[in-house]
Amino acid sequence: MRKIINHPKAFVDEMLEGVLLAHPSSLRSPARRVVVRADAPRQGKVGIVTGGGSGHLPLFMGYVGAGLADGVAVGDVFASPSAEQVLEASRAVDAGAGLLYLYGNYSGDVMNFDLAAELAMAEGMEVATVLGTDDVASAPETEPERRRGVAGIALLYKVAGAGAEQGRSLAEVVAVTERAGAGLRSMGVALSPCTLPAAGEPTFSLPEGQMEIGMGIHGEPGVSRGPLRPAADIGAELVGHIVDALSCGRGDDVAVLVNGLGATPVEELYVLYRSVHAGLVSRGVEVRRTWVGEYATSLEMAGASVSVMRLDEEILGLLDAPARSPLLARW
């Protein structure tokens, strides 16, 4: 393992200590492995609670901030947080306007967030759930409930967070977030495995010179493995799958997110974006907004994912609204 850590078991808690020491004016921890905006609860605002396994920063904690989510339940590496943590996060951010649980579609997370929702509702909180289900590679279009959530959720935080910040009702925030999510698809490619600190060995093997298209952010098997191809081919293939899934084409406006999985230099992400852009433009799709960088990682996995989201003027306005979190903002 090439890791800057102490005891693997202490990894998540020491990471959290570091985060709280680094950003004391932006974040606070009302309970173990729960982090919320320092200014939560914000009266009259829909509270957005997220969470999931560690090892994906800036996902999930990085999306706690102004114009984004309000609280996060932090799981062990690649493992769901507990229902109790989600409940604690809910209590800490609830401001009477209802709560949106927004997280990725993984069985452990769904079970724990659902349980937390029951408990929170029993305490009188109003709770709605929207799942990130953007990964084209994880299930056919006919089975959306089985699709897993990957980097595209970054755009959903932005949409939901801006809506909530504007004082919209829970129903309104849910509606626009669901609409954004329905038009959002992603697909990734992995070039190397990653190693869980507690396991000490790579989750899977992916020899140098090979790539796996469609691999998930926990190393879930993808749709095809083969020799590493040029960036232009990879970009064309990913865009092709995404555009097919979204059936988008001439006249459609989209936002694009090119995400690095951890070890891939930002330079390569831009080389990839070049082909992604070309693939969209050649189909008559107009790229209205672009983000390139690390938004959802898999520890030190090499690789990237591409997310495309259909835009309407309302969603575009929410994407353009101000947002700021200590883990995302570099200044």
Partner 1 sequence: MNEALLADLLAAAAGALEDAAPELNRLDAVAGDGDLGVTMTEVARIAREVLAAGAAGVPELLSALGAGIARGAPSTSGTLVATAFLRASRACGEGGEPTEVLARCFGAALDGVRARGKAEPGDRTLVDGLASVSASLEASAADGLAWQEALARAAEAARSTAQATAEMEPKKGRASWAPQRALGHPDAGCSMLAIVLSAAAARAGA
Ligand X SMILES: Nc1ncnc2c1ncn2[C@@H]1O[C@H](COP(=O)(O)OP(=O)(O)O)[C@@H](O)[C@H]1O
Which of these segments, 33-41, 128-136, 218-226, 291-299, binds a second copy (CB under 8 A)? 291-299
Token digits of residue 188: 């990734």
Pairing mode, if any, of strands 253-260 and 286-293? parallel
Token digits of residue 257: 């997110």
**Under rule CB under 8 A, residue 282 binds a second copy:** no
Spatial CB neighbours of 207, under 8 Å, sequence gap ≥ 6: none
Q: How far apart are CA 74 and CA 198, in angstroms?
A: 16
Q: How far apart are CA 102 and CA 180, in angstroms?
A: 13
**Under rule CB under 8 A, residue 138 binds partner 1:** yes
Q: Give min distance, CB of 259 to a second copy, in A.
A: 11
The residues in 165-194 that bind a second copy, with binding defined as CB under 8 A, are 189, 191-192
Nearer to a second copy by Cβ, of 26 and 90: the residue is 26
The residues in 270-329 that bind partner 1, with binding defined as CB under 8 A, are none
**Under rule CB under 5 A, residue 295 binds Mg ion:** no
The residues in 26-45 that bind Mg ion, with binding defined as CB under 5 A, are none
Which of these segments, 27-35, 136-144, 240-248, 284-292, binds a second copy (CB under 8 A)? 284-292
**Under rule CB under 5 A, residue 77 binds Mg ion:** no
**Under rule CB under 6 A, residue 145 binds ligand X:** no
Contact track, ligand X, 223-262, x by CB under 6 A = ----------------------------------------
**Under rule CB under 6 A, residue 107 binds ligand X:** yes
Q: Which amino acid is at 242?
A: I
Out of 29, 30, 66, 108, the only residue in the binding site for ligand X (CB under 6 A) is 108
**Under rule CB under 8 A, residue 76 binds partner 1:** yes
CA angle 202, 306, 261 (to 5 degrees): 25
Q: How far apart are CA 214 and CA 217, in angstroms?
A: 9
Burial 211-250 (b: 16+ CB within 10 A, else e): bbbbbbbbbbebeeeeebeebeebbbbbbebbbebbebee
**Under rule CB under 6 A, residue 8 binds ligand X:** no
What is the strand order of the sheet 184-190 is part of?
224-227, 210-213, 184-190, 303-310, 253-260, 286-293
Q: How far apart are CA 214 and CA 189, in angstroms?
A: 6
**Under rule CB under 8 A, residue 72 binds a second copy:** no
Q: Give min distance, CB of 247 to partner 1, in A.
A: 22
Which of these segments, 7-15, 29-37, 77-85, 320-328, binds Mg ion (CB under 5 A)? 77-85
Contact predicate 43/108, CB 8 Å: no
List of residues contacting ligand X (CB under 6 A): 79, 107-108
Q: Which residues would be at the binding site for partner 1 (CB under 8 A)?
A: 53, 75-85, 106-108, 111-112, 115, 137-139, 146, 148, 196, 198-199, 201, 203-204, 216, 218-223
Q: Which residues sit at the interface with Mg ion, rule CB under 5 A?
A: 78-79
Chain residues binding a second copy by CB under 8 A are 1-7, 11-12, 14-19, 21-23, 54-55, 57-58, 62, 67, 158, 189, 191-192, 208-209, 228, 230-232, 234, 262-274, 277, 290-295, 297, 299-300, 302-304, 322-324, 327-331
